[in-house]
Protein backbone atom coordinates (compact mmCIF):
# COMPACT_ATOMS: atom_id res chain seq x y z
CA UNK A 1 0.00 0.00 0.00
CA UNK A 2 1.24 3.48 -0.84
CA UNK A 3 1.36 6.08 1.92
CA UNK A 4 0.88 9.35 -0.01
CA UNK A 5 -2.73 10.53 0.48
CA UNK A 6 -3.60 7.47 2.61
CA UNK A 7 -5.14 8.15 6.02
CA UNK A 8 -3.86 6.59 9.23
CA UNK A 9 -5.25 6.36 12.74
CA UNK A 10 -2.41 6.38 15.28
CA UNK A 11 -3.58 5.33 18.75
CA UNK A 12 -1.31 6.64 21.46
CA UNK A 13 -0.04 9.09 18.86
CA UNK A 14 0.72 12.03 21.15
CA UNK A 15 4.04 10.70 22.49
CA UNK A 16 6.73 8.03 22.21
CA UNK A 17 6.40 5.42 19.48
CA UNK A 18 3.05 6.80 18.38
CA UNK A 19 4.31 10.35 18.00
CA UNK A 20 7.29 9.19 15.95
CA UNK A 21 4.96 7.13 13.77
CA UNK A 22 2.58 10.03 13.19
CA UNK A 23 5.49 12.31 12.27
CA UNK A 24 6.93 9.78 9.83
CA UNK A 25 3.60 9.05 8.16
CA UNK A 26 2.78 12.72 7.63
CA UNK A 27 6.31 13.34 6.30
CA UNK A 28 5.70 10.52 3.80
CA UNK A 29 2.54 12.21 2.53
CA UNK A 30 -0.13 10.48 4.59
CA UNK A 31 -2.95 12.04 6.58
CA UNK A 32 -3.01 11.19 10.28
CA UNK A 33 -5.62 11.07 13.01
CA UNK A 34 -3.79 11.25 16.35
CA UNK A 35 -5.86 9.49 19.00
CA UNK A 36 -4.71 9.90 22.60
CA UNK A 37 -5.83 10.73 26.13
CA UNK A 38 -3.34 13.61 26.36
CA UNK A 39 -5.36 16.37 24.74
CA UNK A 40 -2.84 19.14 25.34
CA UNK A 41 0.05 17.26 23.77
CA UNK A 42 -2.10 15.75 21.01
CA UNK A 43 -3.55 19.08 19.91
CA UNK A 44 -0.11 20.72 19.91
CA UNK A 45 1.34 17.92 17.79
CA UNK A 46 -1.54 18.03 15.31
CA UNK A 47 -1.13 21.78 14.96
CA UNK A 48 2.61 21.38 14.43
CA UNK A 49 2.19 18.71 11.75
CA UNK A 50 -0.26 20.82 9.77
CA UNK A 51 -3.39 20.40 7.72
CA UNK A 52 -2.89 16.67 7.09
CA UNK A 53 -3.31 15.94 10.80
CA UNK A 54 -6.21 15.94 13.23
CA UNK A 55 -6.40 15.15 16.94
CA UNK A 56 -9.19 13.21 18.66
CA UNK A 57 -9.14 12.72 22.43
CA UNK A 58 -10.11 9.39 23.92
CA UNK A 59 -9.19 6.01 25.34
CA UNK A 60 -8.61 2.90 23.26
CA UNK A 61 -11.08 1.12 25.56
CA UNK A 62 -13.89 3.60 24.72
CA UNK A 63 -15.85 2.28 21.75
CA UNK A 64 -17.59 5.60 21.06
CA UNK A 65 -14.34 7.59 21.16
CA UNK A 66 -12.55 5.19 18.83
CA UNK A 67 -15.49 5.25 16.42
CA UNK A 68 -15.46 9.06 16.51
CA UNK A 69 -11.79 9.06 15.52
CA UNK A 70 -12.48 6.66 12.65
CA UNK A 71 -15.50 8.68 11.52
CA UNK A 72 -13.37 11.83 11.47
CA UNK A 73 -10.80 10.09 9.29
CA UNK A 74 -13.46 9.06 6.81
CA UNK A 75 -15.39 12.34 6.86
CA UNK A 76 -12.39 14.64 6.50
CA UNK A 77 -10.00 12.52 4.43
CA UNK A 78 -12.32 10.10 2.64
CA UNK A 79 -11.26 6.74 4.04
CA UNK A 80 -9.13 4.94 6.61
CA UNK A 81 -6.34 2.78 5.17
CA UNK A 82 -3.98 2.30 8.12
CA UNK A 83 -4.34 1.88 11.89
CA UNK A 84 -1.35 1.75 14.22
CA UNK A 85 -1.83 0.69 17.85
CA UNK A 86 0.79 2.34 20.08
CA UNK A 87 -1.27 3.07 23.21
CA UNK A 88 -0.38 1.09 26.31
CA UNK A 89 0.64 1.00 29.96
CA UNK A 90 3.37 -0.94 31.75
CA UNK A 91 2.19 -0.89 35.37
CA UNK A 92 4.58 -3.15 37.33
CA UNK A 93 3.57 -5.56 40.07
CA UNK A 94 4.58 -8.92 41.44
CA UNK A 95 2.03 -11.67 42.00
CA UNK A 96 2.98 -11.69 45.68
CA UNK A 97 4.57 -8.80 47.58
CA UNK A 98 4.70 -7.55 51.16
CA UNK A 99 1.30 -5.98 50.51
CA UNK A 100 -0.24 -9.34 49.59
CA UNK A 101 -1.36 -10.72 46.22
CA UNK A 102 -1.42 -8.44 43.19
CA UNK A 103 -4.75 -6.57 43.16
CA UNK A 104 -7.03 -8.04 40.55
CA UNK A 105 -8.14 -4.63 39.32
CA UNK A 106 -4.51 -3.64 38.66
CA UNK A 107 -3.99 -6.75 36.53
CA UNK A 108 -7.32 -6.21 34.76
CA UNK A 109 -6.55 -2.57 33.92
CA UNK A 110 -3.34 -3.51 32.09
CA UNK A 111 -5.17 -6.23 30.16
CA UNK A 112 -8.02 -3.84 29.35
CA UNK A 113 -5.80 -1.13 27.90
CA UNK A 114 -3.07 -3.18 26.23
CA UNK A 115 -5.05 -6.13 24.91
CA UNK A 116 -8.74 -5.23 24.84
CA UNK A 117 -7.92 -1.68 23.73
CA UNK A 118 -5.77 -3.02 20.90
CA UNK A 119 -8.58 -5.30 19.79
CA UNK A 120 -11.08 -2.45 19.99
CA UNK A 121 -9.00 -0.39 17.57
CA UNK A 122 -8.43 -3.43 15.34
CA UNK A 123 -12.08 -4.44 15.02
CA UNK A 124 -13.46 -0.94 14.40
CA UNK A 125 -10.67 -0.02 11.99
CA UNK A 126 -11.24 -3.26 10.08
CA UNK A 127 -14.95 -2.50 9.81
CA UNK A 128 -14.11 0.87 8.27
CA UNK A 129 -11.50 -0.59 5.92
CA UNK A 130 -13.90 -3.29 4.72
CA UNK A 131 -15.70 -0.73 2.55
CA UNK A 132 -12.56 0.70 0.93
CA UNK A 133 -11.92 0.32 -2.77
CA UNK A 134 -9.17 -2.31 -3.11
CA UNK A 135 -5.79 -1.42 -4.56
CA UNK A 136 -4.44 -3.13 -7.67
CA UNK A 137 -3.25 -5.95 -5.39
CA UNK A 138 -6.63 -6.22 -3.68
CA UNK A 139 -5.54 -4.48 -0.50
CA UNK A 140 -8.03 -2.45 1.55
CA UNK A 141 -6.01 -1.67 4.66
CA UNK A 142 -3.22 -2.43 7.10
CA UNK A 143 -3.44 -2.74 10.89
CA UNK A 144 -0.21 -2.66 12.91
CA UNK A 145 -0.20 -3.56 16.60
CA UNK A 146 2.48 -3.02 19.22
CA UNK A 147 3.44 -5.90 21.51
CA UNK A 148 6.76 -6.20 23.38
CA UNK A 149 9.58 -8.66 23.85
CA UNK A 150 8.07 -9.04 27.33
CA UNK A 151 5.52 -11.27 25.59
CA UNK A 152 8.34 -13.81 25.29
CA UNK A 153 10.66 -12.93 28.18
CA UNK A 154 8.51 -11.31 30.83
CA UNK A 155 10.59 -10.19 33.78
CA UNK A 156 9.92 -10.15 37.51
CA UNK A 157 7.09 -7.72 38.14
CA UNK A 158 5.80 -7.86 34.55
CA UNK A 159 3.13 -10.51 34.89
CA UNK A 160 0.26 -8.25 33.78
CA UNK A 161 2.26 -6.51 31.06
CA UNK A 162 3.66 -9.78 29.70
CA UNK A 163 0.21 -11.38 29.66
CA UNK A 164 -1.30 -8.41 27.83
CA UNK A 165 1.42 -8.28 25.20
CA UNK A 166 1.38 -12.07 24.85
CA UNK A 167 -2.29 -11.73 23.97
CA UNK A 168 -1.47 -9.22 21.25
CA UNK A 169 1.13 -11.60 19.83
CA UNK A 170 -1.29 -14.51 19.86
CA UNK A 171 -4.16 -12.68 18.16
CA UNK A 172 -2.00 -11.47 15.25
CA UNK A 173 -2.12 -14.54 13.02
CA UNK A 174 -5.77 -15.28 13.79
CA UNK A 175 -6.71 -11.68 13.00
CA UNK A 176 -4.76 -11.75 9.75
CA UNK A 177 -6.55 -14.93 8.73
CA UNK A 178 -9.93 -13.49 9.74
CA UNK A 179 -9.41 -10.36 7.66
CA UNK A 180 -7.62 -11.87 4.66
CA UNK A 181 -10.86 -12.17 2.68
CA UNK A 182 -11.22 -8.39 2.87
CA UNK A 183 -7.65 -7.64 1.82
CA UNK A 184 -6.73 -6.28 5.26
CA UNK A 185 -3.29 -7.16 6.63
CA UNK A 186 -2.44 -7.45 10.33
CA UNK A 187 1.15 -7.25 11.59
CA UNK A 188 2.57 -6.77 15.09
CA UNK A 189 5.84 -5.16 16.13
CA UNK A 190 7.43 -6.39 19.38
CA UNK A 191 9.91 -3.69 20.45
CA UNK A 192 12.73 -4.18 22.89
CA UNK A 193 14.12 -1.29 24.92
CA UNK A 194 13.24 2.00 23.28
CA UNK A 195 13.82 5.56 24.37
CA UNK A 196 10.20 6.40 25.18
CA UNK A 197 8.34 8.11 28.05
CA UNK A 198 8.10 4.72 29.79
CA UNK A 199 11.81 5.08 30.61
CA UNK A 200 11.76 8.78 31.48
CA UNK A 201 11.80 8.12 35.23
CA UNK A 202 15.06 6.16 35.09
CA UNK A 203 18.42 7.69 35.93
CA UNK A 204 21.07 8.00 33.23
CA UNK A 205 23.03 5.25 34.97
CA UNK A 206 20.03 2.93 34.80
CA UNK A 207 19.44 3.81 31.15
CA UNK A 208 23.07 3.04 30.29
CA UNK A 209 22.83 -0.25 32.14
CA UNK A 210 19.79 -1.23 30.08
CA UNK A 211 21.49 -0.17 26.85
CA UNK A 212 24.54 -2.33 27.59
CA UNK A 213 22.32 -5.42 27.70
CA UNK A 214 21.52 -5.04 24.00
CA UNK A 215 24.01 -7.01 21.85
CA UNK A 216 24.02 -4.62 18.87
CA UNK A 217 23.54 -1.76 18.60
CA UNK A 218 24.23 -1.37 22.33
CA UNK A 219 21.87 1.52 22.89
CA UNK A 220 18.20 2.18 23.42
CA UNK A 221 16.14 2.02 20.28
CA UNK A 222 15.14 5.29 18.64
CA UNK A 223 11.43 5.89 18.12
CA UNK A 224 12.22 6.81 14.51
CA UNK A 225 13.42 3.22 13.98
CA UNK A 226 10.03 1.91 15.07
CA UNK A 227 8.34 4.37 12.72
CA UNK A 228 10.60 3.24 9.86
CA UNK A 229 9.45 -0.35 10.36
CA UNK A 230 5.82 0.79 10.30
CA UNK A 231 6.46 2.39 6.93
CA UNK A 232 8.10 -0.76 5.57
CA UNK A 233 5.22 -2.94 6.75
CA UNK A 234 2.78 -0.67 4.94
CA UNK A 235 4.83 -0.83 1.74
CA UNK A 236 5.47 -4.61 1.75
CA UNK A 237 2.29 -6.59 0.97
CA UNK A 238 3.84 -9.95 1.87
CA UNK A 239 4.17 -8.95 5.52
CA UNK A 240 1.00 -10.34 7.06
CA UNK A 241 0.14 -12.31 10.19
CA UNK A 242 3.66 -11.83 11.50
CA UNK A 243 5.18 -10.58 14.76
CA UNK A 244 8.47 -8.78 14.18
CA UNK A 245 10.92 -8.37 17.05
CA UNK A 246 12.69 -5.01 16.94
CA UNK A 247 15.22 -5.41 19.71
CA UNK A 248 18.88 -5.48 18.58
CA UNK A 249 19.05 -9.22 19.46
CA UNK A 250 18.13 -8.56 23.09
CA UNK A 251 16.81 -11.47 25.16
CA UNK A 252 15.71 -10.28 28.56
CA UNK A 253 16.80 -12.02 31.77
CA UNK A 254 14.46 -12.57 34.71
CA UNK A 255 15.32 -9.18 36.28
CB 81 within 8 A of CB 91: no
Is the residue at 131 inside a domain?
yes
Name 31's bridge partners: 7
Is the residue at 33 inside a domain?
yes
- Report H helices in the chain: 16-27, 39-49, 63-77, 104-111, 117-129, 159-179, 204-212, 223-235
Is the residue at 107 inside a domain?
yes
Supply the range of the domain harboring residue 110.
7-246
Number of structural domains (the chain) is 1
At residue 216, the 3 state secondary structure works out as coil
pTM (two decimals): 0.95
**Does 161 qualify as catalytic in the annotation?**
yes
What mean pLDDT value characterizes the chain? 95
- Mean pLDDT for the stretch of residues 219-242: 97
Q: Among 161, 182, 194, 226, which one carries the catalytic annotation?
A: 161
CB 11 within 8 A of CB 245: no
Assess whether pLDDT exceeds 80 at residue 203.
no
Assess whether pLDDT exceeds 70 at residue 202.
no
Is the residue at 233 inside a domain?
yes
Compute the residue count for the chain. Answer: 255
Is the residue at 1 inside a domain?
no
Is the residue at 254 inside a domain?
no
DSSP 134: P
Assess whether pLDDT exceeds 80 at residue 198.
no
Q: What is the CATH number of the domain that holds 78?
A: 3.40.50.720
pLDDT tens-digit readout, 56-109? 999 999 999 999 999 999 999 999 999 999 999 999 999 999 999 999 999 999
Is the residue at 255 inside a domain?
no
More reliable by pLDDT, 108 or 254: 108
Amino acid sequence: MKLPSATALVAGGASGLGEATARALVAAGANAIIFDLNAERGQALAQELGTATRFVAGSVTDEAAVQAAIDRARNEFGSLRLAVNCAGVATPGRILSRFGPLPLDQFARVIEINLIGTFNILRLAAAAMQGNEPTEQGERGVIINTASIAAYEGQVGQVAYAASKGGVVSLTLAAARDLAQWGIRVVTIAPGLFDTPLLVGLSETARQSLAQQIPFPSRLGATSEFAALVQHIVANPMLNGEVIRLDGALRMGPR
